[in-house]
Amino acid sequence: MVRQFDPSQPLEMQKRQYQQMVNRLVPRPPVWRNCLWAFGVGGLICTAGQGIVSFFQGVGLSFLDAATATSIVLVFLAAFLTGLGLYDELARYAGAGMLVPITGFANAMVAPALEARTEGLVLGVGARLFAVAGPILVFGIVTAWLSGLIYYLFGPRPPLGS
Amino acid sequence: MLFLKAFLVGGFICLLAQLLMDLTSHKVTPAHVLVGLVTTGAVLSALGLYEPLVKFAGAGATVPLTGFGHLLAQGAIKGAAREGLLGVFRGGVASAAAGITAAVVFGYFAALLFRPKG
């Protein structure tokens, strides 16, 4: 057995040895298997989403409205499955495949809120619903606002008299 | 064909996110990935690069969270074009209002009606 950690060495050296030891012991994620799961499950959720979009287009909605209605359906399903405890069970295998679709956004809202019920409705459920959703909305809205502002300042001008 | 394209593009975006999580330090949490996706989607959308992907892959581009960023950015840009500075403020959230409301309402009721596990 190789000595991994030598207390007689100077502190800097000890730190480096310790870091090497940690790096050796921390399990490496099975990257290829994770990627396969993420690709397959994420792809399937999007395919199901396309099925719902096509259905809504079939009953007369525009693509944009159909996509919005699809988000509502997917968010409902994800909130329901998270409540049952199934979503997080499946996400253990699917990883980013169930994190990246809009269902993952819903899961990230429900899961912390569910755990925080004992802390009350306002500071427990109400606040924790936005534990992850809050940052997403902050960065999304700020980026969108900047995009709109840049368009307003430098974008094409509407023709005079319109 | 539409379904195959949705599968491939949607799956590929998820694969990229998985790589980002697995190949970087443990400091990159799911929250960081989601924030990165929504920002990336909004930036690509503002540059005019995301709309072609939506045209190509449909739900494969709108269902991943990058599509949420796209929706926000397009809303703000179209708002700016339609009603000027007021639209810059109004357009983004307005276009994503249905999804946000669904997430808050269903999320609230799910947290209320179900018992936590363990």
Q: What is the ipTM of this complex?
A: 0.95
Q: Which domain holds residue A103?
A: 35-154
Instruction: Residue window 34-63, chain B: list those with CB within 8 Å of chain A.
Output: 34-35, 37-39, 42-43, 45-46, 57-60, 62-63
Q: Which residues on chain A are in Cβ contact (under 8 Å) with B58? A: 50, 53, 63
At A7-66, the pLDDT tens digits run 777 888 888 888 888 878 877 778 899 999 999 999 999 999 999 999 999 999 999 999
Which contacts of B49-54 are long-range, i.e. CB under 8 A and separated by 24 or more positions? B53/B9
Cα distance between residue A113 and residue A128, in whole Å: 5
Is residue A101 assigned to a domain?
A: yes
**Which residue is closest to B60 within chain A, CA to CA?**
A46
Task: Tell me which chain B residue has its CA closest to the CA of residue A89.
Answer: B117
**Can you give the pLDDT at residue A53?**
98
Contact list in B for residue A53 (CB cut-off 8 A) is 58-59, 62
What's the structural domain count of chain A?
1
- Give domain status of residue A44, yes or no: yes
Residue type, position B35, single letter: V
DSSP 8-state assignment for residue A28: P
In a domain, A23, yes or no: no
φ, ψ (nearest 5 deg) of residue A129: -55, -30
Q: Which residues of B touch A52 (CB under 8 A)?
A: 59
pLDDT at A106 over 90: yes
Task: Assign A121 a pLDDT band (cuts: 50, 70, 90).
Answer: very high
pLDDT 10s digits, B90-101: 999 999 999 999
Average pLDDT (B53-64) is 98
On whether residue A52 sits in a domain, the answer given is yes
Average pLDDT over residues B4-8: 98
Q: Which of A115, A125, A130 is nearest to B115 (CA)?
A: A115
Query: Is residue A10 one of the residues assigned to a domain?
Result: no
Contact at CB, B76 and A150, closer than 8 angstroms: no
Q: Which DSSP helix (H) or strand (E) runs through B23? A: helix B2-23
The predicted-structure confidence for A13-28, as pLDDT tens digits, reads as follows 888 888 888 878 877 7
* Residues 75-104 in B contacting A (C-alpha not used; CB under 8 Å): 75-77, 79-81, 84-85, 87-89, 91-93, 96, 98-100, 102-104
Q: Is A17 part of any domain?
A: no
- The nearest CA of chain B is from the CA of A119 a distance in Å of 12
- CB contacts < 8 A, A to B, total 279
Residue A141 to residue B106, Cβ atoms within 8 A: no
Assess whether pLDDT exceeds 80 at residue A162. no
- Let me know if residue A149 belongs to a domain: yes
pLDDT of residue A159: 58
CA angle A88, A93, A96 (to 5 degrees): 80
Band of the pLDDT at B16, cuts 50, 70, 90?
Answer: very high
Angle, CA A87 vertex, CA A83 and CA A93 arms, to 5°: 160
Burial B41-68 (b: 16+ CB within 10 A, else e): bbbbbbeeebeebbeebbbbbbbbbbbb
At B28, list the tokens: 């990159």
Percent over 70 (pLDDT), chain A: 94
Q: What pLDDT is stored for residue A2 in this prediction?
A: 53
Asked if the structure places residue A159 within a domain, the reply is no
How far off is chain A from B14, nearest CA to CA, in Å? 5
Query: What is the separation of C-alpha A63 from the centre of its chain, rounded to a whole number of angstroms?
Result: 24
Distance CA B38, CA A82 (A): 22
From the candidates A70, A98, A100, A157, which should be mutated to test the interface with B, based on the most B CB atoms within 10 A? A100
More confident residue, A88 or B116: A88
Please give the average per-residue pLDDT across B22-31, as a whole number. Answer: 86
Tell whether the model's pLDDT for residue A157 goes beyond 90: no
Q: Residue B64: which of A139, A111, A97, A37 has the closest Cα?
A: A97
Phi first, then psi, for residue B64 (nearest 5°) are -60, 155
Helices (H) and strands (E) in chain A — how many of each? 8, 0
